[in-house]
Chains A and B, each alone.
Chain A
Amino acid sequence: MGASGSRLSKELLAEYQDLTFLTKQEILLAHRRFCELLPQEHRSVEESLQIRVSLEQILSLPELKANPFKERICRVFSTSPTRDSLSFEDFLDLLSVFSDTATPDIKSHYAFRIFGNTTPSHMVFVLVLLGSWGSSLELILTLSFLASCDCSLDFDDDGTLNRDDLSQLVNCLTGEGEDTRLSASEMKQLIDNILEESDIDRDGTINLSEFQHVISRSPDFASSFKIVL
């Protein structure tokens, strides 16, 4: 079950089991994988619970590497002020929401936050990740570009999915390359259709209740919204 120095205490394990949807084996596995991301000298139990791992390292996990939403996912679950690092408990939160037994309610809540996690609407430029296969160098470059632009890296969403959010979401789904995107007219048509179908109060945005209403009609959401270590 891993090195003898990295065993979690029984009380802690029980607490994690009570507060998350994970089983004991899953928690221990998560702890082991988390410790593998840490440098050798910080792998003790106490340190692993205090230390925070940077986003690039979490994004290097094989389960997240190929996911186009990996960055948004990590930002949603990060509790640091700058939203760029995850502690072990954040990591457990992430795995708990994506686990087998999590309720569709909590999954749809977090799905909404992941999809809506975008830059504030009055920013002029659009975030483009070139060659989107998770090269951390490009990620760092893009992030530093953002930082230098004197725009806040405050990725709080505004509580709804507007057209920008939806079009970014669709671009994530279809691939970031120029030839893989939908054309502008297709995108507009698609977003119009989506809003037509799900925006009940016709305000041009989809809020959490409307989102959960749409999700409830799909029986496959809970089974596809899963990440297993």
Chain B
Amino acid sequence: MAQPPAFVFNVPETPEDQGQDPSPYDESEVHDSFHQLIQEQSLRAAEEGLELRVLPQREPGPETLGASELLDMSFCFVGSGHQALLGPEGVPDYSTATLRILASMPSRTIGRSRGAILSQYYNRTVRLRRRGSRPPLGGVGRSARPSLRLYDLELDPTAFQEEEKRTLLVKELQGLTVTQRDHMLRGMPLSLAEKRSLREESWTQSGKQRGPQGRRGLLPCCSRLRYACGLGRFSHSVMYYGYYSNTTLNQLCGPPLDGSQCTPEAGGLPYNMPLAYLFTMGMSFFITCITLVYSMSRSFGESYRVGSTSGVHAITVFCSWDYKVTQKWPSRLQQDNIRTQLKELLAEWQLQQGPRSVWGRLRQVAILGFVWLLCLGTTLGCTLAVYAFSELMIKNPVSAEREWELLALPLVVCLLNLGAPYLYRGLAALERHDSPILEVYVAICRCVTRWGRWAFLGQGLCLPGAPPSASTPLVLRRNLILKMVILGILCYHWLGRRVGALKGQCWENFVGQELYRLMVMDFVFTLLDTLFGELVWRFISEKQRKKRGKPEFDIARNVLELIYGQTLTWLGVLFSPLLPAMQIMKLLVLFYVKKTSLMANCRAPRRPWLASHMSTVFVSLLCFPSFLGAAVFLCYAIWQVRPSSICGPFRTLDTMYEAGKVWVRHLEKAGPRVSWLPWIHRYLVENTFPIYLVSALLLAVIYLNIQVVKGQRKVICLLKEQISNEGEDKIFLINKLHSVYEGKERSRVGRAQEAEVPPTLPADERDAR
């Protein structure tokens, strides 16, 4: 059982302490003990009558107890009824001796005293040399807090002076290589002169060795969003499915000599087109899947720390000032922005606290339900519109001269995708502001009348203080639902209805062309949106000199558009293999257009912290509805749909997947050397049992991981509780310390007064004893 370290406590009695502020370099009291203090206290408690008193509460705050409330409610041992002195603003005014001890507490010296910095870096150097992640637990007493074990030189009862710590650090530095030493020195928060002297001392022993000059730290990584476009298509000849041949290319047969098989001539490799097509699609999707899952798991790991999304107030206050601003006007603008942001954060926080009354909560729930109903209704309406329009297109086939009419369906889809986000944003703003029903009707009327973009703009301008990023998750969800449902309807339309309608023709070409048209229309509309939404709005707001200033760059909507574009590509790659190349070019152009527009017309979103959490959301959105939907579409198209009989590499087969089966049968006939492949195919792919087994294993692994994460979160919560308990202990001890000093001070003053009073007690008092 570890013994608590023995401390020695020194209560300074000299009056010079009065004027001195706690000096950060005065560390002599760090290692003092409470032992004598407690002894003295218990003696005093036995002698004098003690009174437990609860100090009156200052500034009662919300449910959580702030430190001031805790302090006020703490029990103070008060002798003879004196109250603790209170300084300005109700903060207890500690005596300078208490302040000195407080200032020397390890948690406060970490950031400030040179000795603590030296110890910290000594330990880091030791760890670097030992390559261990924890200091040895053996020598440290149980009372040392885990977080402070890193600075165990501070708690060492042999009380190292600063000079000794420095010598130790220099010794450790000598054991490092030159690069490591310089890297360690560079990162120390000491002044240049001190670093230079440390370096010189550590060099005198090990001799001067010049390392390579001009070392720089690594620059931070670039962005994380990845697109799976590497399909490896090198042929530039064809865009659509229909062109591909269904034979084996390059299989040149010389004249059969003696009835033996065809052998390819030298210089040509046989290329089985159907198989190649199928496998290329399959491999590309597989690689995309792996990449996405890896990316998602990495961002999950980084952003799902407990409490990582909270802390917006602290982060805004500590991290939002941009020090690169050098002129007065932008600086003032920044101050205005930060002030507005802080006020908005406070207002939102207030809103989130929610109305206290039952009636208020019911109203909130009712409004939320109503808004969701509206949104779902809109989505349903849009979906029905798309469905009806597509049926109309089937019924009235487009003649050759009026091919531009084929653009009608993509146009409708794009208009819906454009208009709906503004509607959703308006509804979200309404729901936040608890507005009466009348305003809701007015807003709906404004939105639904299709007066083009200006109506939407007007609504956006008139609604009070609705920042686009405020209710981003909800708006994101609704937008996403709309887009995915529309795409779902279109997929059904193609695979379900068009296949039948285009019997005898090349339906795959048609689907590929539809997707290509959708992509092009999407591109055009995005460009128009950037132009009108941002450039023109800026001109309007400048002309009217509204306080709003430039529009805010809506990250969520832009990323959602990117996801939508990528989904189109994934859907279309089977039918139009060059679609990813078009997508790459479209993305390049869009990137530069958006970047220019952003720099010129928009201001930065006001909640930068949201961006890093959002990247997790976006990658998971890219994976789940988007990629998964495309994969399901692809699987269905490969397994279930009959390919058209006049075009494409699968024209003679029942399903596209049969190409693989045909090849396996061909291999079976080829001979015993490759018999393992058909065996795998028969027993592992066609047989359902291995698939079930693998799925079950996968589910088990996922479940285990979830449980582990849950357990870790529980541990984190427990540790947090433990830390706050320790904090309460600390406050209790501080107050006790303070009261002891107060008592000593009073008794000293009392003794001094007694000494001053002339020792002439009235005679009758003396006689009375």
Contact = CB atoms under 8 A, between A and B. Distances in A.
B509 to A, nearest CB: 46
A151 to B, nearest CB: 10
Contact of B191 (A90, A192, A193, A226): A90
A198 B335 CA distance: 23
Contact of B326 (A66, A158, A196): A66
Interface in B334-364: 335-336, 338-339, 342-343, 346, 349
Contacts of A199: 67
Given A197-B313, A200-B724, A228 B67 contact: no
B81 interface: no
A65 B33 CA distance: 48
Given A113-B111, A173-B338, A195 B324 contact: no
Nearest to A122: B87
A62 B105 CA distance: 39
A10 to B, nearest CB: 10
A159 B313 contact: no
B75 interface: no
B318 A219 contact: no
A222 B203 CA distance: 32
Interface string B608-650: 1101100000000000000000000000000000000000000
A47 interface: no
A160 B91 CA distance: 15
B182 interface: yes
Interface in A173-196: 173-175, 180, 182, 186, 188-190, 192-196
A173 B319 contact: no
Given A113-B111, A204-B66, A227-B323, A211 B318 contact: yes
A209 B147 contact: yes
B145 to A, nearest CB: 10
B214 A69 contact: no
B217 A101 contact: yes
B189 A192 contact: no
Contact of B335 (A15, A20, A180): A180
A175 B335 contact: yes
B199 A19 contact: yes
B335 A218 contact: no
Interface in A44-77: 62-63, 65-69, 77
Contact of A105 (B187, B319, B326, B338): B187
B346 A189 contact: yes
A154 interface: yes
A158 B22 contact: yes
Contacts of B330: 66
B731 interface: yes
A101 B186 CA distance: 11
A155 to B, nearest CB: 10
A166 B229 CA distance: 49
A62 to B, nearest CB: 5
Interface string A189-225: 1101111111111111101110100110111111111
A164 to B, nearest CB: 8
Interface string A99-115: 01111011001111101
Interface residues of B, number: 93
B733 to A, nearest CB: 11
Contacts of A198: 311, 314
A6 to B, nearest CB: 19
Contact of B103 (A93, A109, A158): A158
Contacts of B70: 202, 204
Given A220-B319, A226-B323, A203 B191 contact: no
A112 B332 CA distance: 23
B319 A201 contact: no
Contact of A156 (B24, B199, B308): B24
Contacts of A111: 318
Contact of A109 (B111, B215, B342): B111
A17 interface: yes
A157 interface: yes
A82 interface: no
Contacts of A124: 88
Contacts of A214: 311, 314-315, 318
A224 B314 contact: no
A196 B346 CA distance: 14
Contacts of A174: 335, 338-339, 342
Contact of B339 (A16, A159, A182, A222): A182
Which of A90, A116, A207, A227 has the largest count of B CB atoms less than 10 A from its CB?
A207
Given A186-B346, A192-B61, A204-B71, A65 B66 contact: no
B548 interface: no
Given A201-B727, A204-B68, A217-B311, A226 B324 contact: yes
B760 interface: no
Contacts of A188: 59
B189 A217 contact: no
B287 to A, nearest CB: 28
Contacts of B310: 197
B68 A190 contact: no
Contact of A173 (B213, B317, B608, B720): B317
Interface string B714-740: 000000100110111011000000000
Nearest to B192: A89
Contacts of B312: 197
B723 A200 contact: yes
Contacts of B139: none
Interface string A13-39: 011111111011000000000000000
Contacts of A157: 112
A169 B346 contact: no
A24 B727 contact: no
A207 B220 CA distance: 27
A69 B319 CA distance: 13
A9 to B, nearest CB: 14
A226 B731 CA distance: 37
A145 interface: no
Contacts of A195: 66-67
B112 A205 contact: no
A79 interface: yes
Contact of B213 (A14, A133, A222, A224): A14
18 contacts: A17-B213, A24-B214, A63-B326, A66-B327, A67-B325, A69-B321, A122-B93, A152-B21, A158-B22, A158-B102, A159-B105, A173-B320, A173-B321, A180-B339, A192-B62, A197-B310, A207-B108, A219-B611
Given A66-B328, A124-B88, A224-B323, 20 more contacts: A18-B215, A19-B199, A20-B186, A20-B192, A66-B326, A92-B192, A93-B191, A101-B216, A103-B187, A109-B189, A115-B318, A133-B328, A159-B109, A170-B342, A202-B70, A204-B70, A214-B315, A214-B318, A218-B609, A226-B324
A-B pairs, top 4 by smallest CB distance, nearest first, are A204-B67, A159-B108, A208-B111, A201-B727
